[in-house]
Structure 1
Amino acid sequence: MRAFLQSPVGAIEIEETDGYISSVRIVPDEKVGESDSCELLKKATMQLQEYFAGERKEFDLPLRQEGTPFQQKAWNYLSTIPYGQTVSYKDEAIAIGSPKGCRAVGAANGKNNLAIVVPCHRVINGGGKLGGYAYGTDIKLLLLELENHYNLM
């Protein structure tokens, strides 16, 4: 099942599989279709709307995405990065016990299927440069600026 949400970063597709949110992706407008109606998709849509309004800093949703043990470790770490803050790829690599794994961390984060909800946009290059983002650095910057704006309020 899936639902769609128009947001400040464009159309977002939210997928539910077996009682879990399995994907949150930014999609082109032409990919937007009918939204299915289920309580979990409604809850996820509401929480994303609250996030974009600055009313939600953490998500409370059952999540599941398939990945290697290393990817799972990297994705789990992402959810510990506080709203409005950033860490470097090196910081993440050290935190998950792979201090020389900066590139591997970047690759794992690039495969994160739960954009925004599992906040890979909060990981940047050393020296404060944005680094990559699956949906482009413009959207990464927009998300970071949104969080910074609401974090100061």
Structure 2
Amino acid sequence: MKQGYYQSPAGLVMVISQNNKIINISFILACPLFSSLSKEIKQCLQEIAQYFINQRKIFSFDYVLNTTKFSQKVLEATKQIPYGEARTYSDIAKMINHPLAARTVGSALKRNPLAISIPCHRVINKNSKRINYLYGVEIKLALLAWEGVI
């Protein structure tokens, strides 16, 4: 089975297919699903919701980074970028004492497992001509605009 979601004006729609045929279209109701979630997922979803209503700028839920030590350094440095600000890949490379590793920083950020909470969307190129983001340029620009960076 495969699932897809669409945020409609009427609510979140879930579509399920099996053997390349649609078998279910339904609305996802937040309360019943939310109440059955684990404590850590509830907290994470609450914090993400707070972020999107301007009530949270720093995330506090517990997490683990199952990445290389270099990537962990990159991600932890990226987490230090304040809300509403941006840094370059070179800035992050300097923060982790690898000043010539800007491209490698970019590669590590492509594998960021904690979007939004580790704000790789706040990392931009020096010349701002080329914008990359794992989830697409539109989402990166929307997050930067949301935070008032652009």
C-alpha distance in 1, partners of 2:134/2:55? 25
User: TM-score normalized by structure 1?
Assistant: 0.73
Amino acid at match of 1:127: N
Q: How many residues align?
A: 123
C-alpha distance in 2, partners of 1:95/1:106? 14
Structure 1 runs, 4 residues or longer, greater than 3 Å off: 33-36
Superposition map of 1:4-153 within 5 A: 36-129=36-129, 131-148=131-148
* Pair member with larger Rg: 2
C-alpha distance in 2, partners of 1:73/1:144? 23
Q: How far did 1:140 drift?
A: 0.2
C-alpha distance in 1, partners of 2:147/2:75? 19
Check conservation: 1:130, 1:141, Cα contact below 8 A. Answer: no
C-alpha distance in 1, partners of 2:108/2:136? 16
Q: Given the superposition, is the C-alpha separation of residues 30 and 88 from structure 1 closer, same or farther in structure 2, using an over 3 Å criterion?
A: farther
State percent identity of aligned pairs: 36
Structure with the bigger RCO (C-alpha within 8 Å, sep 6+) is 1
- 2:25 aligns with none
Q: How far did 1:84 drift?
A: 0.7
The answer for unaligned runs of 5 or more in structure 1 is 8-28
C-alpha distance in 2, partners of 1:139/1:58? 19
CA offsets 1:54-96 (integer angstroms, 9 cap, x no match) = 1100001101121111101000001100001000001111111
The answer for unaligned runs of 5 or more in structure 2 is 8-13, 17-27
Amino acid at match of 2:135: Y
Check conservation: 1:130, 1:137, Cα contact below 8 A. Answer: no
User: TM-score normalized by structure 2?
Assistant: 0.74
Amino acid at match of 1:64: V
Alignment RMSD, CA only? 2.3
Check conservation: 1:89, 1:106, Cα contact below 8 A. Answer: yes
